[in-house]
Chain A
Amino acid sequence: MNWLNAVVQGLLLGGLYALLAAGLSLVFGVMRIVNLAHGVLAVVAAYIGMVFVQNFDVSPFLAILVVVPLMALLGFAVQWGLFTPALKRGGLSPLLVAFGLAVVLTQLLQEIFTADTRSIPSGSLASSSFEVTPELFIGVLPMITFVVGVVVIIALQLFLTFSPLGRAMRAASDDSETVSLMGIDNRMVYALATAIAFGTVGLAGIFLGMRTQFSPTFGDAILIFAFQAVIIGGLGSLWGTLLGGLVLGVAQTVGSQINPSYGVLAGHLVFLAVLAIKPSGLIPKAVDR
């Protein structure tokens, strides 16, 4: 029964990974930018949430209402001021700029908050769970996180498929020059895409902060896990990112069951296996770019 528990916990963890990875997938999907700062952004959101909760003594869920719009605004600004100019430069510039941003943000967090680990106080929520069977307990917070993760992925998918802005983003992803011939301002489309992406990673950061201790350098691991979820699932597919997150979560928890120090390594090995055997991922994109 331990294994069933591990798989269930892994799926719940996977929901968090999917939530964390959604923004990375979106930014890459629309602009072909791999945002190396994606991981540290989740941590930034966690810190902002922590400060808000501690100073105003409110529920972390209220903090979400502040953090998500703030992060979205940050995303808009970063895209407009940093990533879009870098895209114009072309070549390695977007990647290098994102890398620089990641380092700057990490060090700023270090400067402001020191390297101590922190978390977002969530009161009784962190420890409450409900019993499914005597051997299987499901934590309330992980459950909520999982549901939020799935909902966000579905919402993003619906947005991309049915909304005019989502359509514009998919068109820009196919051919950015022709999009301007439709009367669409590319810069605006990109900035809104990044705003949405940063918003989702902000949301993810709050849940992350409630669930675990974090420190400025935590962003490294988050970037790696988000990336692994995207690749395992398949580039260009949000459903893939969801599936990839679940697979990664299960791999890590099952690995920890075997040996507590093997958890992350197990995730790495599953990722490498997918890379070796089915590099296009579990749900490959239908249309090749």
Chain B
Amino acid sequence: MPAAALSERDLDATFAALADGTRRAIVARLAAGEASVTDLAKPFDMTQPAISKHLKVLERAGLISRRRDAQRRPCRLEPRRLQQVADWIGGYRAFWEESYGRLDEYLAELQGKEKKRDQKKARSRRRAR
């Protein structure tokens, strides 16, 4: 339904990237500041290539960026993408809250009409008697 409107591909990539515990831990670590692949690999029982794979997914999702700094290539968080996801959910909510508010009024109107019609019928039945 409408309001699934932010670039859904970006959104999917972000959800997918955050669907993995290791990648969430990396994002949490980067929230504290830049880090190299070696730093990031330390807390995990993982090889550097395995960590690099996760970093690629995060990078493609726009959640992190990597600076060209000779061999080091430090990673940093791109908070904008997380903010976009939060905004997207907010936009979705706003769309539906307003729609449902209108639907409340519209249903009341429809039910009012039905009631009036029933009353009219009842009156004409009484008159007919």
A is bound by B: no
